[in-house]
Every structure is written in structure tokens, then in C-alpha cells.
Structure 1
Amino acid sequence: MLKKIPLTSCEKVWERFKSSDEANEIVDLSSEPRVIIDSLLEAGLYQDLVHFYCHALPMRETIWWSICVLELRQDVLTKAEQSLFNACKDWVREPQEPKRRYIEKQMQQLKNESFIRWLAQGVFWNGSGSIAEISLPVVMPAEFLYSKAIAGAINTAAVLPEWKGRDKFYKQAFASAFDIAQGGKGLIE
């Protein structure tokens, strides 16, 4: 059993996201997470596996995983993206509301296809505070909304900007996720 995904079956996790038809055909939801992870990895269903990890791991571990993985693409970041990436790393280490609100403001400067914007959106939607403007009544994000944003960040980073490192990126990402699921730090060397 995985320390950070202590489940004996995965029906509830699988219901949290829209999986591909191919994944639905091969996954036995009564299985433990390790079996599902191995099945998706072996079938090369990387996007589904990213969604699975993002919806199965606890919130901070999910965001930390994306930090570890997105560091693989730091060479393509603009100054604004690098600054926002650093702010997200800082938030994971010390999750404070002013930092979350700072991230909200900074992400508005980036385009939707920026994987760093999706990371920042995940931090903002993490469930620790309102997603409405500060002067308005509290509105909490939908449960696991951050998971969708983080999965978007990782899957976008795998392909944009275009490069030939997609498969290696995913393999390193999944090694990191599995390490985190076992209770490790997920650092990529």
C-alpha cells in the first residue's frame, strides 16, 4: 500500500476526473492504486496517469509534485513565469493567504497555455481560501478543482512549448510521483 495513497480500491478517485476510453477499458477500479498506476504506465496512457496522481495524492503533495516536475522545463520560462514559479514553490513551503493572493494577481499576466499559469491556478484553487475577490463574500472552490489545474500544468508542460523530450519528461514525472506516493520528496535528479 502506498503511504500517501492508502486505498484498497480506486473507484472514488476515478470518479473525480474524466478518463479516456482506453483507460476505462484497462483499469480495474477494485484494484489498489499501484496496480492502476502500473496499468496506465504500461499502456502509455500518460495523461490519464497524471490525472490519477493529481486526484489521488493529498493536495500539498500534488502541488509539490508539479513543482518537482515543472523544474524540468525551467529553461523555457520567461522572467514573469520564473517569478511566479518561485512564488508557488514558496507557497508550498509556507502556505499563507497573502502568498496565495499574490499568486492570484501574478498569474493574470500569463496566457492560459502557460503551464506555470496552470500551476498558479492550482495553488489559488487549493481549497484553503476563497476564490472570490477579497471584498466579496467567501466562495470556496469546487472540491479537487486544484487537481484539474495541476494536471493541466503537467500535461501542458509535457508538450508546450514543443520539444522532443515528452516521453522522458513523463517517465521522470511518474518516478517523482511514485516516490511521493511512497512518502518521499519526489525530487528529480
Structure 2
Amino acid sequence: MNLSHALKLSAYCLAILLASCQAAPPTPPSSLSLSSPSPTPSPSPVLASPVKSEAVKTFEKRLRGELIKKSGITVQTVSCPAQVDVTTKAPFSCQATVEGKTFTIAVNPKSNAKTDKNELRWNTQGVLVLPKLEQTIRQGIQQQFRLDVKTNCGGTVRIVQPGETFQCKVTDSRGQTRPVTVQVDDAQGNVTWRL
């Protein structure tokens, strides 16, 4: 078998594989081409994300409502894992989004033996609600220095790490602005600030 015949036979076998076993063999090419055939795209498998149960969707709405009520901020979304059992007593985490920033909510369900109802216990991790921080700074300055000030920490939420420092601004009634240094003490959002 010569090289030309072997290449024609290989092309014929390849054509059979690509054509899913056609009844008649294709006619051999009149000239030998050394270029490889163009690859044909194959569809990528689409992985279906798990479908959330109505219980999970209802829980997400409840948690979002609680977060809005306690923080006073607008929460775009709360997303919990699709496979989580929201009736369990085991802790789990969800994600919340505010102003395009995503942070973790640690959920620790606990059954109340007196009422036999599950209580919703949760806390945020790695996020500061800036209007609450501004209020804390304003009240602290009022108590320590007897000054009324306006505070600005720049936005509604800030994603933080323990040990991180950043600046807020306070402005007194004469329009003088001073920086306030805020240090994040832990992942629960405890901070220390100084003027």
C-alpha cells in the first residue's frame, strides 16, 4: 500500500465516521491536500443548577425582610444554597447583595422549646452598614465633646476584613471637616474609631 492510497483510505474512514456511516462511500479527492479538516464545534454540556424549593425561596424572602428591617438598608437579593434544608437546626450560610456588593450571612437556626417554632438567628460577616456606623460616631462625638456633627463614611455598606482601617469624615456646624479613623476589630463588624 503506497502513501497516497493509505491517505485516501484514511480520508474515506474519517468521512464514514463523520457522516455517521453513509450508505455509499464518498468519491476520493482528486488532489491530495495536507491541510487538516476544520474542526466542527460540539455543544458544551450545560450543567443545570439545582432548582430551589419553595421553602428555600420563602426563607430567602424572610431573611431579606429581616435584614432590611434590622439594618435599614435596601437589600437587592438574598441567596441561600438550593440544597439547604431550612428546617434543620444545622448552621448554614447565605449571600446578600447591597449596592452590587455581596457579603455572607451566617444563619444559625434554633428551635424554641417553649413555642416549638424555629427562631431565625443570623448575623452578617465582613460587612459594615455605614449609616449605623455614622450614627454611632455622631453620638460618640456628641457625648464626648458636646458637638453636633454630620458624618460621612461614603455609601451604604462596606465590605471589610478584620484589622482593616478606613476614614470617615465629620463636619461641624462651622463647616470644618476632620477625618475619623475607623479600625475593623473583627468579622462581626465591631469597630474602634478615633477623631
Instruction: Find the structure with the greater CA-based Rg.
Output: 2
With the shorter chain as reference, the TM-score category is under 0.3
| Structure (1 or 2) with the greater strand fraction | 2
TM-score normalised to the size of structure 1?
0.24
Higher relative contact order (CA 8 A, sep 6+): 1
